[in-house]
């Protein structure tokens, strides 16, 4: 039997579509907090910081007939034409990209809340907001499920973290 996951929250209220979404928004930055301590000003309450696009864009190859029509319209330019297709993401039911956090949310939905903390107006803005919130919540320094920033900065790179200490110990052991 599937358990009901907590709804997205914004300023303590359940997000209703499209009532709470400002015009021009492409995505949002979110945090997942322990429900028994929902005031996320305390850094230890935040277990994950993430981002989610409201729509996704995919490239689709045109049919041969449509390609030929495009080639004819462009005066013989034979480069393969693709179109972009915007697909509405089902973000209302989206949990997270982290397998560990997803498992927690599915197994113990009553213990966690999903908070929208910022709206983004472009993909780059969304990436910036995720980094901003990861730094504000100290997600790379404190115990959390955020293991890296943009795939380039890892917890093992941050002095003072358990991952850094373990990495340094491993390096010392290899020197011997």
| 60-108 residue pLDDT tens | 777 778 777 777 777 666 665 666 666 777 777 788 888 888 888 888 8
- 2: in domain: no
Residue in 82, 22, 79 with CA at minimum distance from that of residue 57: 82
Q: Per-residue confidence at 30, pLDDT binned at 50, 70, 90?
A: very high
Average pLDDT over residues 39-47: 57
Same domain, 19 and 50: yes
Please indicate, yes or no, whether residues 155 and 98 belong to a single structural domain of this protein: yes
Quick check: 57 and 88 in contact, CB under 8 A?
no
Mean pLDDT, rounded, of the chain:
81
Question: Is the pLDDT at 43 greater than 50, yes or no?
Answer: no
Using a pLDDT cut of 70, give the percent of the chain over it. 84
Q: What is the mean pLDDT of residues 137-159?
A: 83
- Does residue 71 sit in the same domain as residue 31? no
Q: Which residue has the higher pLDDT, 118 or 109?
A: 118
Cross-strand bridge partners of residue 29 = 51, 118
Do 144 and 113 lie in one domain? The reply is yes
- Flag whether 149 is in a domain: yes
Asked if 161 and 143 count as a contact pair (C-beta separation under 8 A), the reply is: no
**92 vs 65: CA distance, rounded Å:** 37
Check pLDDT > 90 for residue 41. no
Q: How many domains does the chain have?
A: 2
One domain, residues 28 and 79: no
Residues 59 and 122 in one domain: no
Handedness of CA 153, 154, 160, 164 (dihedral sign): negative
Residue 68 structural domain:
55-88
Q: Is the pLDDT of residue 45 over 70?
A: no
């Amino acid at each position: 039997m599937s358990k009901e996951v907590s709804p997205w929250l914004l300023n303590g209220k359940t997000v209703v579509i499209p009532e709470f979404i400002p015009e021009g928004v492409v995505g949002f930055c979110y945090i997942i907090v322990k429900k028994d301590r929902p005031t996320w000003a305390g850094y230890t309450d935040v277990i994950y910081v993430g981002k989610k696009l409201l729509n996704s864009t995919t490239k689709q190859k045109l049919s041969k007939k449509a390609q030929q029509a495009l080639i004819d319209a462009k005066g013989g330019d034979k480069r393969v034409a693709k179109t972009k297709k915007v697909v509405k993401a089902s973000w209302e039911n989206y949990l997270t990209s982290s397998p560990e956090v997803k498992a927690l949310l599915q197994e113990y939905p009553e213990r966690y809340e999903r908070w929208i903390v910022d709206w983004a107006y472009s993909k780059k803005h969304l990436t910036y907001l995720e980094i901003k919130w990861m730094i504000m919540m100290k997600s790379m320094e404190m115990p959390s499920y955020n293991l890296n920033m943009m795939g380039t900065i890892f917890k093992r790179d941050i002095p003072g973290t358990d991952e850094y200490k373990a990495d340094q110990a491993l390096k010392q052991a290899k020197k011997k």
